[in-house]
Amino acid sequence: MRPSSPLDAGRVASRHAARPAELPAILPPSRWPTSLAPLAVAVAAALALPHAHAGCSDESHVPALADTGPAPTLVAPQKFVIPTVHIAPAKGWPADGKPVAAGGRTVTAFASGLDHPRWITVLPNGDVLVAETNAPPKPQDGQGVKGLVMKKEMAKAGAGPKSRDRITLLRDADGDGVAELRSVFVGDLESPFGMALVGNTLYVADSGALLKVLYTPNATQAAGAPAKVMDLPAGPLNHHWTKNVIASPDGRKLYVTVGSNSNVGENGEGAEIGRAQIMEIDVATGRSRPFATGLRNPNGMAWQPDTGALWTVANERDELGSDLVPDYLTSVKDGAFYGWPYSYYGQHVDTRPKPPHPELVARAIAPDYALGSHVAALGLAWSGDATLPAPYGHGMFIGEHGSWNRCPLTGYKVVFVPFAGGKPSGAPQDVLTGFLSKDDNAYGRPVGVALDGRGGLLVADDVGNTIWRVALKGK
């Protein structure tokens, strides 16, 4: 999800604005003077007016797919007293409802009745681990009018339930595409997300720590309690709480994503220490270092075997209009700075962060491939199997959780980006759609994606509480 706050009304001020008592009774909150924007937002939220629900203070004007690819269209940034808040309320699937796969491929529920499944990892024996998780307590994230409105809106989008804080093992022993065994593999965690198996060690990225637990092949429960490897940035704010972990192909290094603690640094530079980056951890020594920085909210990671490069998907900043800024897929270069919060898509300056850092902007590099503005790309998986049918034999599958800061809604689907020569080649192609109703309610929202080794793509749906399986090859 993208929990960044869209209503930074506290920065809007006008010394000569009228007082509330001087306003005509019929004047709606949307037309109050700018100094009263915080009060307008509060009233809108309290009265359930559209300004705080599905109000569109701007709409997208960029042609379809123009904000995707290696050279996306970047329009001029927009500024609003009350930026667009357009939420798809979480409704869940109707009876017998399910998403729609491209090309008439079969979609089945690999496992249903889960509790907010967000991330999935396939083990060597075919068992599937799923993180049933949600945001941890964040007492400092959600304060004030801005925070209260966003907490209310994100709860509608499915981010409200208490986290189950567990990793569940699913087993499809007979290979029919439906898991018949379900077991809590490890519990009593704190908003777990990413998982990586190295030998017989399973690493788990909790919201505030990297953990490890012993994995015994074919076991349905972890052997022993988790042990802490190292702390990760967290605390009472912990804005982007999801942490992911992936191992290098040789298992000697771990890479951990840590999202920013704000939209564009509005909580101060001190709140961003150790954040908005991908960390590298040496397994043998435990030493860690920033591998790449300036990544607002990186989530999914995958290795591209042709080049050996690490790739990630990242969520870019909000509140610049429906057509900015495109979320992206990029190779992760050692030591690179990707701009956040001082610039986007290379050296396009964002004037909001204070103080500015032109010396960092001068270093900023552009990502490789735009996925579209506000799609909220989270899941990432390399197709991995050259025997998969066209067009899925060589490229990346991406789970797009869906927008809240754009009109019309975008994302809410799984796409495939084909690769050639180690780089994206061609437009993103829809793989799994149908997560939205005709009236913009969310039946489901895709997050993590993974190949099951049997020609199927698994998709974690945290609103539909289901792991979907798309049969890309055979059954």
- pLDDT of residue 135 exceeding 50, the answer is yes
Q: How are the residues of the chain apportioned to helix, strand and coil, as percentages rounded to the nearest 5?
A: 10, 35, 55
Q: How many CB atoms neighbour CB 169 within 10 A?
A: 20
Beta bridge partners, 247, equal 254
Alpha-carbon separation of residue 279 from 265, 274, 276, 418, 463 (angstroms): 20, 9, 10, 27, 30
Is residue 474 very low, low, confident or very high in pLDDT (cuts 50, 70, 90)? Answer: confident
Is residue 176 very low, low, confident or very high in pLDDT (cuts 50, 70, 90)? Answer: very high
Is residue 83 very low, low, confident or very high in pLDDT (cuts 50, 70, 90)? Answer: confident
Give residue 294's region: left, alpha or beta (phi > 0; psi -120 to 50): left
Alpha-carbon separation of residue 63 from 175, 200, 409 (angstroms): 43, 49, 14
DSSP assignment, residue 3? -
Q: Which of 473, 470, 449, 474 is nearest to 110 (CA)?
A: 470
Q: What percent of the chain has pLDDT over 90?
A: 78
Domains of the chain in start order, with CATH, are 9-471 (2.120.10.30)
Q: Using the structure block, give the residue that is written with the tokens 């919201």.
A: 207
CB 162 within 8 A of CB 134: yes
Strands (E), 156-206: 166-171, 181-186, 195-198, 201-205
Average pLDDT score over residue span 433-462: 97
Q: What is the pTM of this model?
A: 0.88
Give me the sign of the Cα torsion angle 345, 351, 354, 357. Answer: positive
Beta bridge partners, 377, equal 400
Is residue 57 very low, low, confident or very high in pLDDT (cuts 50, 70, 90)? Answer: low
pLDDT tens digits for 424-444? Answer: 999 999 999 999 999 999 999
As a whole number of angstroms, the distance between CA 433 and CA 101 comes to 6
What's the chain's average pLDDT?
88
As a whole number of angstroms, the distance between CA 308 and CA 250 comes to 11
What is the pLDDT at residue 141?
A: 72
Q: Which of 408, 326, 420 is nearest to 375 (CA)?
A: 326
As a whole number of angstroms, the distance between CA 28 and CA 17 comes to 16
Is residue 19 very low, low, confident or very high in pLDDT (cuts 50, 70, 90)? Answer: very low
What is the pLDDT at residue 166?
A: 98
Comparing 50-59, 352-361, 398-407, 449-458, which segment has the lowest mean pLDDT? 50-59
Is residue 365 very low, low, confident or very high in pLDDT (cuts 50, 70, 90)? Answer: very high
